[in-house]
Chains A and B, each alone.
Chain A
Amino acid sequence: MTRAATRTALRKAAILAALLAAWEAWTRLGEVSPLLFPPASTVLAAFGRSLANGEVPGYAAQSLQVLLTGMALGSALALVLTTLAVGTRLGAEFLETLTSMFNPLPAIALMPLSLLWFGLGVQSLIFVIVHSVLWPMSLNTYTGFVTVPPTLRRVGQNFGLSGWRLVLGILLPAAFPYILSGLKIGWAFAWRTIIAAEMVFGVAGSQGGLGWFIYQNRFEMNTDLVFAGLLTVILIGLLVENLIFRWIERRTVQRWGMSAGH
């Protein structure tokens, strides 16, 4: 880490500590009901307990499992849509129409329909996740494919590559920065969507996932556990974005000097 980066990190840590201290002081001195807003120390203790007894990790694993299933399915569908769009003009117009139609629609808004069609089960959640991943993934992958430099395409043809060998050998790696950025956007949408969707399940009385954990504890007035659940959502989000995706980027697009240009 450079000195400037170390200083920035130190300052951010100080901001965080100050916020926690203010929170603690306000809830202890200001006679705030711990049922509405528990002190920071209580929340951290509850977080520690629910980590230790495996409750939070279990729910988080459940959320992540559904999310990864949905993302895998969404990415596969995105690849099919993109292949059609790259191959034919009708396919490109089909993709453009669908993405512009579904982009303004929050995936969670499909939850009532999803419950109607798939019932109270994992399928409903997966349907919503697929929807939140599919459009940003398709749009990015498509942009990646059409912006491959024509020279690179010709180089591949010059090596005698065509059809699937050209796609796998040249086009896919050349479009990789865009595909990765599509995956990042897809993950961000999917993670927010699944927490929200699980709360709808909470209403419906089924169970599962971090969202449900948060919702359930709010009913039982375990406000400290509600906060612990929110903390977990934040931590997992940061972990995936700053560790996992950063790690992939350092080993791929950064090493190759490639960027998605947006």
Chain B
Amino acid sequence: MGDLLGVRDVTIAYPTEHGAFIAVEGVSFAVAEGEKFVLLGPSGCGKSTLLKAVAGFMPIAAGAMELEGRRIERPGPDRVVVFQEFDQLLPWKTVLANVVYPLRVARGLPAPRARETAESFLAMVGLDRFAASYPHQLSGGMKQRVAIARALALDPRMLLMDEPFASLDALTRHKMREELLAIWETTRKTLLFVTHSIEEAVLLGDRILVLSAGPARVRRILANPAVGARGTEAALAVQREVQTVLGQ
């Protein structure tokens, strides 16, 4: 398995009134095909900025960012983002139409095939009964599941998730993490996942990149033998290790 995403010495800066604000500085990492890679760091450390740059929403000031050896220059359906915000669904479209629409415009699928694909992915996240509902009729957790179905239906090279469960209540959040693991088992889609929760990082990440705060720099990249395990000794050990790295 070769590297799918390569990030080398990337620096990202925002222009502000007092000159440039460095959000990310000299970050390097690589994500392999089929890997679940987590970016972990304190709130406001610039980890979301890094993900937005991978998505193509944000230019980088220095370094290189490549997907399968090609420079990332603009957003595209080969890297689909699941956002934290619930308003990422199009409110004027039904749940089904929300999944069908990108298949039509981004993949150019004919209507019947787009519909079939959308229906099967909605069934995968358990929302086929809500195909005719509008987003405002769904709970927060259901909205995020539609967003995940929509992203996976597009069959991207990589799935990018920006704290997708952070706005959910604790119970739903736990359930969604488990569901994401189950979904990943069937799709094996390469995942770049941003979170500030150590527990979430250790549950989901094959490898965890721990970032320092403002500007974001690489503290350490940890291999996580406890991925998918909840509350085991191994998981607790990794959590303690991450905590130590974060506390440095």
Q: Which residues of A contact B (CB under 8 A)?
A: 149, 151-152, 154-155, 157-161, 165, 169-170, 173-174, 176, 252, 255-258
Q: Which of A158, A173, A174 touches B80 (beta carbons < 8 Å)?
A: A158
Question: Are A160 and B87 in contact, with the CB atoms below 8 A?
Answer: no
State whether the Cβ of B62 lies closer than 8 Å to any Cβ in chain A: no
Contact A257 B87 (CB under 8 A): no
Contact string, B138-157, partner A, CB cutoff 8 A, digits 1/0? Answer: 00000000000000001000
Chain B interface residue count, CB cutoff 8 Å, equals 26
Contact A157 B134 (CB under 8 A): no
Chain A residue with minimal CB distance to B84? A151
CB pair B91–A256 under 8 Å, yes or no, is yes
A160–B154 Cα distance when bound, in Å, is 12
- Bound state CA distance, A49 and B77, in angstroms? 65
Q: Are B92 and A149 in contact (CB under 8 A)?
A: no
Chain A residues, CB < 8 A from B91 = 174, 256-258
Write out the residue numbers on chain A whose beta carbons fall within 8 Å of the beta carbon of B79: 158
Count of A-B residue pairs with CB < 8 Å: 65
Contact A257 B106 (CB under 8 A): no
The A interface, classified by DSSP as helix, strand, loop or mixed, is helix
Complex interface residues of chain B between 64 and 114 (CB less than 8 A to chain A): 74-77, 79-81, 83, 85, 87-88, 90-92, 101-102, 105-106
**Residue B136, interface by CB 8 Å:** yes
Whether B184 sits at the interface, judged by CB under 8 Å, is no
Q: Do residues A151 and B136 form an inter-chain contact, with CB atoms below 8 A?
A: no
In the complex, what distance in Å separates the CA atom of A173 from the CA atom of B137?
18
Cα-based distance from A256 to B90 in the complex (angstroms): 9
Q: Does B55 contact A (CB under 8 A)?
A: yes
Which single member of A160, A161, A173, A256 contacts B134 (CB below 8 Å)? A256
CB distance B90 to A152 under 8 Å? yes
**Contact indicator A158/B92 (Cβ below 8 Å):** no
Whether A158 lies near B134 (C-beta < 8 A) is no
Contact across chains for A160 and B106 when beta carbons are under 8 A apart: yes
Docked CA distance A256–B92 (Å): 5
Taking the closest CB of chain A, its distance from the CB of B107, in whole angstroms, is: 9
| Measured CA separation A160–B73 after assembly (Å) | 12
Q: Are A151 and B105 in contact (CB under 8 A)?
A: no
Task: Name the residue on B nearest A170 (C-beta).
Answer: B90
* B135 CB within 8 Å of chain A: yes
B29 near A: Cβ within 8 Å? Answer: no
CB-contact partner of B83 in A151, A169, A256, under 8 A: A151
For chain B, residues 41 to 81, give those with C-beta under 8 angstroms from any C-beta of chain A. Answer: 55-57, 74-77, 79-81
10 further A-B contacts with Cβ under 8 Å, apart from A151-B83, A174-B90, are A149-B87, A151-B87, A152-B88, A155-B90, A158-B76, A159-B77, A160-B77, A160-B105, A256-B134, A256-B136
